[in-house]
Structure 1
Amino acid sequence: MDKTLKFLEHAVTLLDEEIQLTPPAPPSPQLVNIREEMQAIVEVLRSGTLPQKANRVSGIRRMIVDEWPTDSQLGNQLLDALSGYHAL
């Protein structure tokens, strides 16, 4: 679980960096929402209480797969982090 937590924390950092790259325009609401959901997953893992697989966030993965370019490095890293979380 520690490896997955570090992977997810890194994904949140990557999202923070991407969000900060967008000024002067406001960041994409989609990026902000994904970042908030990823941070929530990190907090759940830090608390040591892992929800049942059926109760884990899965909408982010569908959104990235359906809407992001397949060659998006950030998208692929987020998918890898989420796959690790769902595999726990």
Structure 2
Amino acid sequence: MSESAVQKALAVSERALSGIDEELARHAAGRGSVSNPGQLAALRAQLLQVVQQLAAPPLPPKDQRLRGIGRVIADSWPYDNPLGGMILEAERLYLDA
């Protein structure tokens, strides 16, 4: 695992967390555009664990890392949603780090 791969995964994951927070705020204002607050909160909690693991190495072995964020996005979000793409990229980078 290279330090630069971990740093890139961490940066993208932190941006994805910010994007989820922004979407949650839009939902609170009645202007949410994707998903629902419950699903977003669950994705946020799992992504927060990813960020914590990336920020405090060593990472768990690849076969023991958190998975499933991408499946939720791919199964129920519009394909062209930028937040969904960012979350998918964060998970990919985390799993590859």
Q: TM-score, normalised by structure 2?
A: 0.83
Alpha-carbon distance between aligned partners in 1 of 2:29 and 2:74, rounded to the nearest angstrom: 28
RMSD, aligned CA: 1.3
Note the C-alpha offset of 1:34: 0.2
Aligned to 1:33: 42
Within the alignment, does 1:22 sit opposite 2:16 as a pair? no
Alpha-carbon distance between aligned partners in 1 of 2:80 and 2:8, rounded to the nearest angstrom: 25
Alpha-carbon distance between aligned partners in 2 of 1:85 and 1:60, rounded to the nearest angstrom: 11
7, 13, 18: which is aligned to 1:8?
13
User: Which secondary structure does the structure 2 equivalent of 1:39 belong to?
Assistant: helix
Note the C-alpha offset of 1:56: 1.2
Note the C-alpha offset of 1:24: 4.7
User: Which secondary structure does the structure 2 equivalent of 1:80 belong to?
Assistant: helix
Runs of 4+ off more than 4 Å: none
User: Quick one: which amino acid aligns to residue 26 of structure 2?
Assistant: L
Within the alignment, does 1:64 sit opposite 2:73 as a pair? yes
Aligned to 1:82: 91
Alpha-carbon distance between aligned partners in 2 of 1:65 and 1:59, rounded to the nearest angstrom: 10
Alpha-carbon distance between aligned partners in 2 of 1:50 and 1:23, rounded to the nearest angstrom: 34
Give the gaps of 5 or more residues in structure 2: 1-5, 31-35
User: Quick one: which amino acid aligns to residue 9 of structure 1?
Assistant: E
User: Which has the higher mean CA deviation after the structures are superposed, 33-42 or 54-63?
Assistant: 54-63
Give the gaps of 5 or more residues in structure 1: none
Deviations along 1:13-38, one digit per CA (max 9) or x if unpaired, are 1111110111256x620000000110
